[in-house]
Amino acid sequence: MFDPLSLLQHVLAPFWWVLLIPLLAVLFRLPTVKGWVGETILHTGLRLLLPSARYHLMRNVTLPTNDGSTQIDHVVVSRHGVFVIETKNYGGWIFGKADDKMWTQKFPGRSSAFQNPLRQNVKHVRTLAELTGLDDKALFSQIVFVGNCTFKTPMPANVGKLKACLAAIRGRDEVLLSDDEVAQVLERIRTGRLAPTRATHKAHVRHVQALLAGKHAGGVRAELAARVHDHAACPQCGGAIDDYTYKTGGKAGQSFRGCTRFPACTYRSDAPERAAEAVA
């Protein structure tokens, strides 16, 4: 007897992999997966394009701190200094200045704010300096964007794509550390880092989540209060804040600052009851 279902299964069987495409599309949008992909792309590039005899590459270096731990994406140790690298896998347009607390990622019709990675990397550099005993002259902060993004504001010299990062590392030819000092730095990192295991990574993620949830010093109340004060990011949704002008009504012509995600988010800086709700 003719079985149409069996025939359909027989015809579609060679194309089972097509069903994975939507699943993979969703999977690669997850922040954790995007971060891992970005770090892997950068790691591969650094591994292939930096001579291993001259540059010593370490990945996912988790170091203990007074308040928990901090995780450095990549550390490159050489006679020409130690490079502390923070990776960002972002697309769209990127806006930001060295002194800004928050930077902005924009797509057509939407935008979001994220922490200035230069500020984020300061803690990494300081923690590594304390561990190794190196001074600032031998430590270099590098921020690498690996996604399909475009910088729409002039970026500091130590912020860029993989090519710029490689140029910055290779471009330093002054000898700052002897071979023995390089070996000492590598040994201190190896013995001072937390075990590079899945358990360590999960513990660090829980620590970061706890910080974001306000379970450690400062907490989310202080963070949101600061956002309301300096308007760096929307205190209700974390999106970017921009300048607007009322066009109609009793406030026509008056300026205000509001969330760029409107109407999904209705936060306005001139609505004190909303600001109070945000930090409550």
The answer to whether residues 228 and 220 touch, using CB atoms and an 8 Å cutoff, is no
The answer to whether residues 237 and 259 touch, using CB atoms and an 8 Å cutoff, is yes
**What confidence tens digit (pLDDT) does each residue in 251-274 have?**
777 887 877 766 666 777 765 433
The domain segmentation of the chain, as residue ranges, is 24-212, 219-279
pLDDT at residue 255, rounded to an integer: 80
Question: How far is the C-alpha of 125 from the C-alpha of 168, rounded, in Å?
Answer: 17
CA 161 to chain centre: 14
pLDDT at residue 231, rounded to an integer: 39
**What confidence tens digit (pLDDT) does each residue in 79-111 have?**
999 999 999 999 999 999 999 999 999 999 899
Residue 163, CA atoms < 13 Å, CB-side half-sphere: 1
* Amino acid type, 217: A
Q: Enumerate the β-bridge partners of residue 209.
A: none
Pick from 142, 136, 23: nearest CA to 73: 142
Q: Which pTM value belongs to this model?
A: 0.65
Q: What is the radius of gyration, based on Cα positions, of the chain?
A: 23
pLDDT at residue 60, rounded to an integer: 92
Q: Which residues of 107-137 are buried (b: 16+ CB within 10 A; e: fewer)?
A: eeeebbbbebbbeebeebbebbbebbebeee
Average confidence (pLDDT) over 134-160: 95
Average pLDDT, the chain: 80
Question: How far is the C-alpha of 54 from the C-alpha of 177, rounded, in Å?
Answer: 12
**What confidence tens digit (pLDDT) does each residue in 18-33 have?**
556 665 555 545 666 6
Write out the two tokens for 73.
């994406």
* Amino acid type, 190: R
What separation, in Å, do the N-terminal and C-terminal C-alpha atoms of the chain show? 69
* Omega of the bond leading into 263 within 30 degrees of 0 (cis): yes
The answer to whether residues 225 and 279 touch, using CB atoms and an 8 Å cutoff, is yes
**What confidence tens digit (pLDDT) does each residue in 161-174 have?**
999 999 999 999 99
* Amino acid type, 67: D
Across 2-148, the runs of DSSP E, i.e. the strands, are 56-65, 68-78, 81-88, 92-95, 102-107, 110-115, 139-145
Pick from 177, 280, 191, 174: nearest CA to 236: 280
